[in-house]
Chain A
Amino acid sequence: MADQKEQETSVFTEEVIKEVIFRVHRFSPDDGKPPRMQDYKVPVKRGMTVLDGLHYIRDNLDSTLSYRFSCRMAICGSCGMFINNLPRLACKTQILELEADTIEVKPLPNYEVIKDLVPDLSDFFEKHRSVMPYLIREEEEEKIDPPTNEFLQTPDELERFLQFAYCTKCGLCLAGCPTVATDKVFLGPMALAQAFRYNSDTRDQGFEKRLELLCVPEGPWRCHFAGSCSEVCPKGVDPALGVQLLKGQIVFTKLGLKKPHKIAPLATEKPEAKRRPGIPEAPPRTVKKE
């Protein structure tokens, strides 16, 4: 009991445990200098993440350092970096867990560098857009945009794609992919897993349209299942699984061995929602409806 209490208090200690060298990639398109590594000494406290270390450098040592971050809790996927030779989220990587005296922080590989640790994700999002990552319906557009009612989908049908819907588009998978390392046009694990995610959604009828986009040399067949994308994924999305399932989906459907999935119907009646007892009314609107 005493040990447990001691452990709990030590987690919040402000004591500096050790000093590590942050070897950080520096590049600015404006100063005319080639990319280089710069060392900073950072005092490390228990619980400090690599992102905290970068904040320390920016706040105390070098205010010109540029890097991306937002939520600081592995939700937004902004702070993807190449940390000690692996693509990781800086906010999810504890300095002490790296068990190193020197921490090398570089921008995510396989992306162009805008400045310091900031990768250019334009290609990444362009590839995502190219697989039509949205619900495609054959009904008249006025019925679904804006939506008139909900689509009816069972929990089992949801489970078939939900895992891939957890993707935060952090870009780590493309940084880890050995095919992307030498092939700029390969669609990559994120876009392909998202294509599978929408193909498998019973609310979607876009399989044939996506097939035209996927049956190209830079499509799923260029993946040879190294699985590095799934190993580096910070959210357990397992894009390698999505890519392999996409290949099987294409083969079995084209051979006529698998029927297209059932299409989720649009609900005809508005669901009735009743307020549970004891839940107070919402406060009045602060902004008036137009």
Chain B
Amino acid sequence: MANGTISKPENRLGIVGWFYAGSFSFERYAYILHRITGLGILLYFLLHIFGSSARISGQSSWESLMHFLGKPIFVAGEYLVFIAFCFHAMNGIRLILGELGFSIGKPGRPVYPYRISLNRQRPLLVVFMIIAVIFILLGGYDFFIAGH
């Protein structure tokens, strides 16, 4: 700054770039959801280990914790983790299939209008999202209706 110059702005989109970077297809938002649900499941795993560790303090402390965690807000929270799990698992299978070369097509001459791998794998995305929604609905029935 002494000589009147300032350093080059980095101009990196950062985490904002995960959420908004223009109008992209659903796969971009599946990417973001995959990351967020992955972090959510990891956080739940840590809380689960912490909660399960109450078992070593004896049966009474375990039962009081279970009673505390039986409140509707925790049940709803657990259902959110279940939703995250369903999405993450189904989207994960789609990604593995794509990464192994299935559903994305083969290289060809780029002829306008361009048809890209993202368009080719979209039916697979739709199928896996429908399966995820079915699991989420079945889970909801078990969490809130059959389980009570």
Q: Which of B1-50 contact A (CB under 8 A)?
A: 1, 4-18, 20-25, 27-28, 30-32, 34-35
CB <8 Å contact, A181 and B11 = no
Cα A238 to Cα B113 in complex, Å, equals 13
Q: Are A244 and B117 touching (Cβ within 8 A)?
A: yes
Report yes or no: B9 in contact with A181, Cβ–Cβ below 8 A. no
A248 contacts B117, C-beta separation under 8 Å: no
Q: Which residues of A contact B110 (CB under 8 A)?
A: 163, 166, 235-238
Tell me the A219-277 residues at the B interface (CB within 8 Å): 224-228, 230-231, 233, 235-238, 240-242, 244-245, 247-248, 251-252
Q: Which of B4, B11, B27, B34 contacts A31 (CB 8 A)?
A: B4
How far is it, in angstroms, between the C-alpha of A87 and the C-alpha of B18 when the chains are bound? 15
Interface range on chain B: under 10, 10 to 19, 20 to 34, or 35 or more?
35 or more
A230: contacting residue among B5, B14, B116, CB under 8 A: B116
**B111 touches A (CB below 8 Å):** yes
Contact of B5 among A29, A87, A226, A233 (CB under 8 A): A29
- Pick from B5, B30, B100, B109: contact of A162, CB under 8 Å: B109
Contacts of B16 in A (CB 8 A): 181
Report whether A245 and B11 are in contact in the complex, using a CB–CB cutoff of 8 Å: no
CA distance A29 to B14 in the complex (A): 22
CA distance A8 to B8 in the complex (A): 46
Is A113 part of the contact surface with B, judged by Cβ < 8 Å?
yes
Q: Which residue of B lies closest to A164 (CB)?
A: B107
- Across the interface, do B104 and A244 meet the contact criterion of CB distance under 8 Å? yes
Q: A225-B99, A248-B99 are in contact. Are A120 and B116 (CB under 8 A)?
A: no
A230 to B22, CA, bound (A): 14
Q: Does B95 contact A (CB under 8 A)?
A: yes
List A contacts of B108 (CB < 8 A): 159, 163
Q: Which of B115-147 touch A at CB < 8 Å?
A: 116-118
* Contacting pair B101 A231 (CB below 8 A): no
Contact B107 A248 (CB under 8 A): no
The answer for the CA separation of A18 and B82 in the assembled complex, in Å, is: 53
Q: Which residues of A contact B24 (CB under 8 A)?
A: 176, 226-228, 231
**B16 nearest in chain A by CB position:** A181
Interface residue tally for chain A (C-beta within 8 Å): 56
Partner of A245, one of B7, B17, B107: B107
Q: Do the beta carbons of A231 and B9 come within 8 Å of each other?
A: no
A236/B11 contact (C-beta < 8 A), A29-B6, A86-B23, A228-B24 known = no
B133 vs chain A, min Cβ distance (A):
21
In the complex the two chains form, is A120's CB within 8 Å of B8's CB?
A: yes
Q: Is B68 located at the chain interface by the 8 A CB criterion?
A: no
A181 to B112, CA, bound (A): 29
Question: Which of B6, B7, B21, B114 has a CB less than 8 Å from the CB of A178?
Answer: B21
**Closest A-chain residue to B113, C-beta based?**
A236
Instruction: Give Cα distance in the complex from A109 to B110, angstroms.
Output: 26
Q: A5-49: contact bitstring with B at CB < 8 Å (1 yes, 0 no)?
A: 000000000000000000000010111111100000000000000
Contact flags (1/0) for A152-172 with B, using CB distance below 8 Å? 000000011111101000000
CB of B37 to closest CB in A, whole Å: 12
Q: Are B28 and A226 in contact (CB under 8 A)?
A: yes
A181 touches B12 (CB 8 A): yes
Contact between chains at A236 and B116 (CB < 8 Å): yes
What residues of chain B lie closer than 8 Å to A35, measured between beta carbons? Answer: 9
| Shortest beta-carbon distance from A42 to chain B in Å | 22
Are B17 and A178 within 8 A (Cβ)?
yes
In the complex, the answer to whether B99 meets A247 with C-beta atoms within 8 Å is yes
- Considering only residues 83-109 of chain A, those with a C-beta below 8 Å from chain B are 84-87, 107-109
Given contacts A27-B9, A35-B9, 20 further A-B contacts (CB under 8 A): A111-B11, A112-B9, A166-B110, A181-B14, A182-B13, A182-B14, A184-B12, A224-B31, A226-B32, A227-B28, A227-B116, A235-B110, A236-B112, A242-B107, A244-B99, A244-B117, A245-B101, A245-B107, A248-B101, A251-B100
Chain A residues at the B interface, C-beta cutoff of 8 Å: 27, 29-35, 84-87, 107-114, 119-120, 159-164, 166, 176, 178, 181-182, 184, 200, 224-228, 230-231, 233, 235-238, 240-242, 244-245, 247-248, 251-252
